[in-house]
Homo-oligomer: A and B are copies of this chain.
């Protein structure tokens, strides 16, 4: 890719990291955690998915430890949220949902690309893209002693899965990486937004419960 595309990608990546860190910090505050807990959940939510992916594809130490800017941004976002949670709490839900869908799309696509670049087979690359997108939120929920939200409700992980699958398929069909990423990210974003708008949810097998 050209230098300009690279910079756009880097800026987007950093923006996604900051956004997920803010969401982790808000979850920590709602859970009554102290300042250290807020910092840990900011880090885990923003970078946990990428760390898991890097461990799984054999790329340790993960990017989040090699490049100090990622943890620094996650911690800065966590501290800022701790200090200004009253302000963050007033961001309209619709805006937050839209930004989150954009971050999810970006992480899913970036994770898929990294896995494919390391010769992970296509089927597993799709899993790695999905984990990059939703792994941070899953770690956050586990640390809050809750069943991860993505396992229970909403079309969220499914959107990440779709984006990763579309990107992988496009790459396999010979589409240039930048367009494959656009197609995958677009598919993830569109499915997520439509499912929020239409209140879609995945099926459960209610008869078995209780």
| Number of residues on chain A facing chain B (CB within 8 A) | 61
Which chain B residues border A205 with CB–CB below 8 Å? 29, 82, 85
A85 touches B35 (CB 8 A): no
B158 touches A209 (CB 8 A): no
How many copies are assembled? 3
B124 touches A68 (CB 8 A): yes
- Distance of A144 Cα from B151 Cα, bound (Å): 9
> With A57-B61, A71-B123, A123-B71 in contact, do A151 and B202 touch (Cβ < 8 Å)?
no
Q: Who on chain B is nearest to A128 by CB?
A: B65
A152: interface (CB < 8 Å): yes
> With A29-B208, A153-B34 in contact, do A56 and B51 touch (Cβ < 8 Å)?
yes
Which chain B residues border A143 with CB–CB below 8 Å? 138, 142, 147-148, 151
Q: Who on chain B is nearest to A123 by CB?
A: B68
Q: Who on chain B is nearest to A82 by CB?
A: B205
Q: Give the contacts of A129-171 with B (CB-CB under 8 A).
A: 138, 142-148, 150-153, 157-158, 161
- Distance of A28 Cα from B148 Cα, bound (Å): 12
B209 touches A30 (CB 8 A): yes
Q: Who on chain B is nearest to A138 by CB?
A: B143
B56 touches A124 (CB 8 A): no
B32 touches A124 (CB 8 A): no
A120: interface (CB < 8 Å): yes
A121: interface (CB < 8 Å): yes
- Distance of A210 Cα from B90 Cα, bound (Å): 17
Which chain B residues border A142 with CB–CB below 8 Å? 142-143, 145
Give the distance to chain B from A168, nearest Cβ to Cβ, in Å: 12
A-B pairs, top 9 by smallest CB distance, nearest first, are: A37-B151, A58-B60, A34-B202, A68-B123, A65-B124, A35-B202, A29-B208, A32-B209, A33-B151
